[in-house]
Chain A
Amino acid sequence: MIGQPEASSPLLSIRDLEVWSSTSGQRVPVLRGVDVDVRAGEAVGLVGESGSGKSMTLRAIMRQLPAAFEASGSMTFRGEEISQMRSGRLARFRSDELGMIYQDPRAHINPLWTVGDFLTEAVVVSGRLRKREALARAKELLEEVGFRDPAGQMRQYPGQLSGGLLQRVMIVAALMPEPALVLADEPTTALDVTVQAEVMSIFADVIRTHGVGLVFVTHDLDLAAATTDRMSVMYAGRIVETGPSDVVSTHPTHPYTSALLASRPSLHRRRALSGIPGQPASAASAGPGCSFAERCGFVQDACWSHGSALEVVDAVSASACLRTPELRTRLKRSDA
């Protein structure tokens, strides 16, 4: 089943999402006005460094922010406001329409229950599938992700499976209820490098086959480019650039993205490594102007006071940099 992206309203629409923590009486911003759209069947990447707020965005969507964290803004799923969902509806939303893949599978799966139980519990309890149907579906999906003895492995405990296998189990769990939307929080970061590639390829395949909408969070820009249709780059709790993945990764419109791309060692030429000077900013520390101003190679006086809202650049891309129109050609990835 290959889903056709609908031209009309998006599956998930986030507008002006702000998240802050109010520990010890102080209000510390974590996300400052995030906008994301995901259409049915579309894969959207959220790329950024640690502290950029990308994981927090996912938690906000699921309404699982840590204690003492608050959110404002609009998050709609098929037109319905997620933050207004009452507990019963929220539970059904989570169990039937949403799938979540966490970063460290070993920490996120209860070691005391079998793999089979983990896979089937949510759909059975919510009533979406009967036990037998759930087991059958689990077996099917496990085969799809490459398990050769699904029945046997479903009887095992998480402690007996390796990290790579466990993450595949997690992927299956997310797909069990045939969700419309899947959220993936750095699904391969906790795995060994060799395993990462495998799991990623399975993951990408499976997502396309099932036609689900995907929000894919990662710090690896190239990985996002290879896996997603559109992507947004985050910095200091804000989106600084958004556009089609292939465009963003070859013709970035924001200096940050460009600098990120440039800092990766080149496979084709020998040249000195170039990092981005300074330390990554957090949403809490950024001032009124552009949060990247301090480290930007193209900074001007106006940057310090210009609020960094996303501005449409062309039909498909948007950028938060006010100098984008003039800088576009210079930001092109050099070894693209």
Chain B
Amino acid sequence: MSSVGTTQALRVPRFGRRRLGRRSFYTVFLLALCAVLLLVALLGPFLAPYAPDAADILAANQGPSTAHLIGTDSLGRDVLSRLLWGAQLSYAAAALIVVISIILGTSIALTSAWFGGAVDAASAGVLNVFIAIPGMLVAIIAVTILGPGFWAPVVAMALASAPYAARVLRSTAIQERHKAYIEALALSGVSTARINGHILRGISPIVLAQTTFGFGVALLEFGALSFVGLGVQPPTAEWGAMVIAGRTEMLAGNPQQTTAAGVMIVISVVAFSLLGERLQRTLGGRR
């Protein structure tokens, strides 16, 4: 008979997963989209009809055709193929950046949360200092020292994003650390490593959401670096580089390279950002 459920159902939201309404369809759609994008990035080279540096001057600056689905660039290279090859690079860069920064950030957050007190205050202070340096700037400085390319910017951006991730995760970790079940575990003498494993598991939804969200941001920023010429160098195919490389052609009336690369960037970033945001809301909200 218990009708407590009915009245309260008006006020308490049920867990998102059980409710198969419009909202979770949207999440599934986003998940699928991101999965497809990741797949394309992984398999890019196998799907590409041409090699990324297969130049054919006679076919330069052509619009979409049956031979070249999106067209060719100024050197006659197939834009679609370059896009597919570039996907691998762009996504790899973004993935590395975000994974490294999340690992670093989570470690800092967990340490900070576990020891608390002076350690926490110190790390908060240090983080505040590092956050004062924008990621782009760190990458630029790294490139100054090490020269342009792939690894220097990736590592630099990873290090630059870590403080931001650490700050966000730190507050979540602290909350989790003070939860009753963690205190109980600590009292019963379970090893520190084990307990931190529990805390990690507790904050993992937020970590996942931040990772997804950060992937989009990293993709964007790495592209920006290549765009200004400090990242990946020609003739390597990368989306940001393609946007700038195609600019002269665009101004001359052949926008296919620039547009295609730009659209791919936007779609990727939108998909992953929205997914990250959705994950944050459904998983994070459960706590």
Binding site for B on A (CB under 8 A): 21, 23, 28, 30, 51, 278-286, 294
Are A279 and B4 in contact, with the CB atoms below 8 A? yes
User: Which residue of chain A has the shortest Cβ distance to B3 in the bound complex?
Assistant: A285
**Apart from the given pairs A23-B10, A279-B3, A284-B3, 13 other A-B contacts in the complex at a CB distance below 8 Å:** A21-B10, A30-B7, A51-B4, A51-B7, A51-B8, A279-B4, A280-B4, A281-B1, A282-B6, A284-B7, A285-B3, A285-B6, A294-B1
- Shortest C-beta distance, A246 to chain B (Å), equals 32
User: Which residue of chain A has the shortest Cβ distance to B1 in the bound complex?
Assistant: A294
Looking at A278, A280, A282, the one whose CB has the most chain B CB atoms below 10 A away is A282
A284 to B1, CA, bound (A): 12
Are A282 and B7 in contact, with the CB atoms below 8 A? yes
Are B3 and A282 in contact, with the CB atoms below 8 A? yes
Tell me the interface secondary structure of chain A in the complex.
loop
A28 to B6, CA, bound (A): 9
User: Which residue of chain B has the shortest Cβ distance to A286 in the bound complex?
Assistant: B3
Q: Report how many A-B pairs have Cβ atoms within 8 Å.
A: 31
Contacting residues, chain A, for B7 (C-beta < 8 A):
28, 30, 51, 282-285
Taking the complex as formed, is B66 at the interface, i.e. its CB lies under 8 A from any CB of chain A?
Answer: no
Contacting residues, chain A, for B191 (C-beta < 8 A):
none
User: Which residue of chain B has the shortest Cβ distance to A283 in the bound complex?
Assistant: B7
CB under 8 Å from chain A, chain B span 1-51: 1-4, 6-8, 10
Are A278 and B1 in contact, with the CB atoms below 8 A? yes
Looking at B1, B6, B7, B10, the one whose CB has the most chain A CB atoms below 10 A away is B7
- Shortest C-beta distance, B272 to chain A (Å), equals 32
A279 to B10, CA, bound (A): 18
Contacting residues, chain A, for B4 (C-beta < 8 A):
51, 279-280, 282
A21 to B2, CA, bound (A): 20
Contacting residues, chain B, for A278 (C-beta < 8 A):
1
The 8 A-B residue pairs whose C-beta atoms are closest, nearest first, are: A285-B3, A282-B7, A279-B2, A282-B3, A284-B6, A51-B7, A281-B3, A279-B4
- Shortest C-beta distance, A37 to chain B (Å), equals 27
